Chain A
Amino acid sequence: MSNPTDNEALIARLRAGDQSAYAQLVEEHASRVYRLALRMMGNEADAEDVLQETFLSAFKSIDHFESRSSLSTWLYRIATNAALMRLRRKEPEQVSVDEPLESEEGDLMPRQFFDFCCLPEEDLLRDEARAEMQRAINELPATLRSVFLLRDIEGLSTEETAEALDLSISAVKSRLMRARLKLRERLSAYFSQGAVLTEESSK
C-alpha cells in the first residue's frame, strides 16, 4: 500500500482531472478491487461488472473523498457497496433477511470436531479443497462475507473494515467471528469426509 504522502499527491492530481493520475489509480488498485469482487460475487462476469462500477463511481465522486481515509479503504467501500447492491438485486431474500433470522450463538455452536490440522499440507492445499473453500465463502450470508473478505483475505484492520462497511467495531468483530465459525464448520465437515475416504481406499 502506498504511503500517505503519495496518496495526497495522487488525490490532488485526481481532483485536478489529470488523466495519468486516473490511470495510476486503476493500475495500483484494480487487482485488489477485482479480487474482492470475485470472492464477493463468486463468478467472473459479476466481478467484472463490480470492477467497472467501482472505478466509474470512484472517478465521479473523487471530490467527496475524505482524506482521513486511505484510497484503498475508500475503494473497498465503493466496491463492497456495488457488490452488495448487485447481490440484493439477484437474490433479494438472501441479502435482506440473512441477519435478523440469524439466532444468536445457538447456531454457531460447533458440531464438527475433526482435527484437520493434522492432515498433510498437500491435502489442505489441493485444488479441490480450494474450490470447496470458495464455495464455503459463497454460502456465507453476504453481510458476513464482506467482513470476512476485508479482514481475513484483504488484511484490513478491524478499524479499516468498520470504516469501509459503515459498521461499529463490535459489529465487525461479531460478524467476523460468525463468519469464521461457519467456515470452520464447513471445512471440518469437508476434510473429515476426505479423511474417511482416504482411510477406506487404503484398506
Chain B
Amino acid sequence: MSEHHEHDCSHYLGSLSDYCDGVLPSELCQELEAHIAECDNCRVVVNTLSKTVMLYRRMPSPDVPHDVKERLYKVLAMRPKNE
C-alpha cells in the first residue's frame, strides 16, 4: 500500500462492513467502488471481507447433543415433550 493510498484507504475502512451488507448509501457506494477500481489492496479487502462473512454463515450448525438435552430437562424438572 503506497503512502498516498494509505490515507484514502483508511477513509473507506468504516464503510466496508455496510458495503458488504448492501446498506451503504448510494453516493458512498459509488465513491468506494471508484476507489476499489483503482486500489488493488482495498479490492482484496472488500472481497475477502464478504467471503469471510459468507464462510461463517455456511458453518454447519451443531445440534444439542442428546445427553445435554436430557440433562437440561432434568434441571428444568420436566419430562421431554415426546415422552
Contacts and interface: CB of A to CB of B under 8 A. Distances in A.
Interface of A: 19-20, 22-24, 26-27, 30-31, 34-35, 38, 44, 48, 51-52, 55-56, 59, 105, 108-110, 113-117, 124-125, 129-130, 133, 148, 152-153, 155, 173, 176-177, 180-181, 183-184, 187-188
Given A35-B61, A130-B59, A26 B48 contact: no
A175 to B, nearest CB: 10
Contacts of A55: 72, 76
Main SS of the interface on chain A?
helix
Interface residues of B, number: 42
A181 B49 contact: yes
A75 B47 CA distance: 34
Interface in B29-65: 40-41, 44-45, 47-49, 51-53, 55-65
A148 B44 CA distance: 21
Contacts of A183: 52, 56
A33 to B, nearest CB: 9
Given A26-B78, A27-B81, A153-B56, A109 B13 contact: yes
A51 B72 contact: yes
B48 A31 contact: no
Interface string B60-83: 111111001101110110111100
A202 B40 CA distance: 27
B62 A35 contact: yes
